Amino acid sequence: MVKIGDIKLNDFPLLLAPMEDVSDPPFRALCKEQGADVVYTEFISSEGLIRDAAKSVKKLDIYEKERPVGIQIFGANLESMLRTVEIVEKSNPDIIDINFGCPVKKVVSKGAGAGILKDIDLMVSLTDAMVKHTNLPITVKTRLGWDHDSIKIIEVAERLQDVGCKAISIHGRTRAQMYKGEADWAPIAEVKNNSRMHIPVFGNGDVNTPERAVEMRDKYGLDGAMIGRASIGNPWFFKQVKHFFETGKHLPEVTIAERVEMAKRHLQLEIDWKESEIVGVMETRRHYTNYFKGIPHFKDYRLKMVTSDSAQDVFNVFDEVLQKFA
């Protein structure tokens, strides 16, 4: 059994990674339904929250059916981060996660996200202060280091654990790599195999097949896998991995009818959550390429899906797809 604080999880849990403009409540609900053990919100700006920015506040929405759910925040200012903890607590999440890994320039330039990898002392002091400021478990998501020459992830993990961090998720790339090249899981395994470590160590990056999840579990010995890009437009991925764990076999390929039904549900959930047809339609577009990946001669249908501003038009395209390809 794996535990994050007092939260008991299955052996080798699968976590839905926090992804900007992806892991919102509708998508998290679908992934949870398909076997995700823990889900995380999109990352939320501490400065946006304390300014009461509408977009940041909206990201605090969580459904009961998502639990356990973590709200992820980022920032580099201690006072802002502590005020953010107080705001986040009101949404009653199960976990507060700190993003020390986002490589995007607009985040890094403010010293937040992966930018804080240049100042490990600040990373540790922020975590320490936040742990002391709440009774909720504090977890951290980070990267191997700023660049290849500054990887100190074993030291970083030890220090974060020592100040009360309850779990750490590590993306197997440096900030300099962004999302290029292959994720290196070996340094994550070194963190896990460090005799001083007793909190869960989750791996992230390139877990894109059930076989890769097995490799992360069996070869690298990590406590769980955080799934990111492989789940976009593919909430079934969690179910597929768990089935492979149990049987060593792949589930049958998701049918066209199942893909259409999931895409329909996703779009309707998005519209309902956003309370706006046009916003719901736009927010769901990024998933369609993967929902219908591998279907030959599909370009014209996908183009209709991602250019229409009308929900009914998109639903009509879904029905066309069902009739033509199922």
Annotated catalytic residue 102: yes
Report yes or no: 305 and 288 within 8 Å, Cβ to Cβ. Answer: yes
Residue 54 neighbours by CB distance under 10 Å: 9
Which of 4, 102, 126, 144 is the catalytic position? 102
CA distances for 317 relative to 11, 237, 239, 307, 308, angstroms: 41, 24, 27, 11, 10
Report yes or no: 141 and 72 within 8 Å, Cβ to Cβ. Answer: yes
The DSSP result for 240-273, as a single string, is: HHHHHHHHSSPPPPPPHHHHHHHHHHHHHHHHHH
Report yes or no: 273 and 213 within 8 Å, Cβ to Cβ. Answer: no
Question: 3-class SS at 141?
Answer: strand
> Nearest-5° angle of CA 85, CA 146, CA 205?
75
Query: Which residues neighbour 215 within 8 Å (Cβ) at sequence distance 6 or greater?
Result: none
Active centre residues (catalytic): 102
